[in-house]
Structures are given as structure tokens and as C-alpha cells.
Amino acid sequence: MSAVALITPTYSHDLERCALLCESVDRHVSGFTKHYLIVPDDELALFARFAKGRRQVLPLSQLMPPWLKPLPRFIRRRNRQYWWSTRGKPVNGWHVQQFAKIATAHIIPETVSCVLDSDVVFFRPFDPSEMAVPNSTPLYIRPREVTTALNDHCDWVRSSHRLLGLERPSFPANDFIGHIIFWNQQAVRAMTARIEEVTGREWIDALYRAHAISEYMLYGFFVCSDAALLRRHRCTTQSLCFSYWDRKALDEAALDTMLKAVPDHCVAFSSASFNGTSVHDVRAAVERLTNPQHARPGRAAPSMAPVRAVEHQVNNLI
């Protein structure tokens, strides 16, 4: 099947954000076959209402190996559930969501996956079918963005190179992390095969033991290391999602200002869930943006310089 699927791992803490994502997908996104929501088994009832139309809710147990088990819910830190195995130290739900993204993209019938975080909300029409095979798959890349000052990102870069059997990386290194990311299934399957060949372990086992991982870094560095796969991709520095990564919560006024400054090529907005920005405020701000008649009275649109982004050719990026 040459088609595009949407993949979103989520959990109860992001229930409201996931609801807003689903509403926005139903309203603005066309040209996909399925939207897969991946949730912990004991939270299936919470997400059952989303399982309709083109949306399917998958339990994590269908994607995880039997040796990886969730710890009891009372064993939590910062509201994070942990998973454990005798094969290494426990990992949190963020790690397991990464495993689930790769596993889902690996087994679904669709040949291209569009991976979305729960905190994404679409506000413009978007048709991902343009990225289906035989068209090239977008590879989002931020050239030379990872410096030695970014400790976590550096660890992810180094870990990716070790798992893929690549030479020791130099810095600054490329960054492949974003909120709307496309994966080619052939590349995903080749990537997991490479990890198993290099480590001598099942790919989830290898990632579990590595601990410091980024699924998007792994995919990006793998594709860039394989000339044949790279030709099937189109490298771009333009993100389809305007992302707010700071830890300070946005109020309504800040949301209005930010959304009105979003570049034309962006079709979605994301305020990372860890900053605590109100989902109600995000929904209201997006509604005001898409329906000007709902704008709050007495507020003039801010004057903002347009944001420009440049798409690079592959040979300028690698």
C-alpha cells in the first residue's frame, strides 16, 4: 500500500491535548488512511471515544516485547510511569513512546508515517498524501544545530552513531527533531536491521540498554548514512509545525501574538506539554485565528516581521 498514516503515542496526562489534536486533524487534515493513537493498556477506556472513523487506538502491549513491563503506577517520578526489565535500568514512558513510534511505523500497512506529538494542533489545511511513495519523503533537518552546550542532544547524537555503527560524530552536529516528522517504512525497517546487525540484539533491546536515545536522531543519521535511502528523501529545513519549546507557559495574549506571526508554510502549532500552557487557551487562540469573528474585542493584531526559512539541497546539508 502506498499511503500515509498518522502516528501519535499518548497517555492520560495528555488526554486534553490529544483531544484537541484529534479535533484539529478531523477539521484540517485530509489525504491519510489511518490515525493511530498508541496508549497504555490500562488507559484504553479513557481513549476509547477517539476510536472512530479513520482513527484507531492501539494498546502498547501489541507493540512492546513481553520482557518489557510497566512498573506499578505508584512508582512514579514527575508523573512519569516507568518500564523495566532485567536487561537494563528502567526507562520512562517517554522512552517507551519512542519504541512505540518505531514499532508502529515498522508494522502498519502504510508505507509512509507522519509522526505527531499529542501537543500538536492543526489550524490550516494539510494533505500529507503528497508525501506518499513514489514521491520523496521529507527529512526535516537543522544543520549543525547541536553544539557541545546541549548535553542531552549531544548524548543522543553519540548514542545514535554507536547504535548505527557510524564513526564518532563531530560537533556541531545536525538535528532532526521536530513535532511533525515523516518516516519512510523501508528506511525504518532498514534502520532497525542495522541496529540489530551492529549490536547483535533485538532493536528494542538495544535501544532499551542505550537509554540515551532520540528516535528522530536515529532515523535522520541513518538515512544520511545510506546514499540509496537518502535519494528517496527530500531534505528540508522548513518545519510544518511552529513549535514553542520554552518552559514558560503562554497566556492568551502571548498565544495570539505568536500564532499571528506563524510563517505561511506552517500548518500546525505546538506548545510543548511540559511548559503547562493551558489547553483551553490554545484551543481558544486557534479558534480566534481560524475564525476572526471570534477574536477578542479591543486587541489589535501585532506587527511582526515575517519569518523566513530556507530549504537546502541534500549535498549542502550532509
Q: Would 170 be classed as within a structural domain?
A: no
Predicted local distance difference test score (pLDDT) of residue 76: 65
Domain membership of residue 52 (yes or no) is yes
Count of structural domains, the chain: 1
244 CB contacts (<8 Å, ≥6 apart)?
250, 258, 269, 270, 271, 272, 275, 277
Neighbours of 117 (CB within 10 A): 23
8 is a domain residue: yes
Mean pLDDT calculated for residue range 202-207: 98
In a domain? residue 189? no
Q: What is the mean pLDDT of residues 27-47?
A: 97
pTM for the structure as a whole: 0.90
Spatial separation of the C-alpha atoms in residues 226 and 191, rounded to whole Å? 10
> For the chain, what is the mean pLDDT?
89
Residue 277 maps to a domain: no
> Which residue bears the cell 490515525?
35
What is the domain extent for residue 108? 1-119
pLDDT of residue 77: 66
Is residue 10 in some structural domain?
A: yes
Mean pLDDT computed over 294-307:
38
Give me the mean pLDDT over the 76-89 stretch: 82
| Residue 4 resides in a domain | yes
Report if residue 202 sits inside a domain. no
Q: How far is it, in rounded angstroms, from Cα 115 to Cα 182?
A: 6
